[in-house]
Amino acid sequence: MLYLLYGSGQNENDWSEVGRAYFILDNLIAERRAKPMLIVMPFGHPQASHLSGAATPAGVKPSAFADDLLDQIIPMVEKTFAFP
């Protein structure tokens, strides 16, 4: 599995639309330089304030994304998509 995270000011579509992750991986697989894999591109904004443009509310942990990734996303992906 490959977890692709995007940078500040980007969104979950950038690896597909701008970075062409699917194209790069397809070519690497065809050249036998990579094995087929699941690519996970999480949204990356666990706080609703990011979507509304509002200021981050007091008391919101700076580690909210890391907590979300490590505690929610990775366990769910690994449980749902079992690979040898």
HEC secondary structure over 19-76: CCHHHHHHHHHHCCCCCCCCEECCCCCCCHHHHHCCCCCCCCCCCHHHHHHHHHHHHH
Q: What is the pLDDT of residue 8?
A: 72
The model's pLDDT over 26-67, given as tens digits with 9 standing for 90+, comes to 999 999 999 998 899 887 766 655 445 555 555 566 777 888
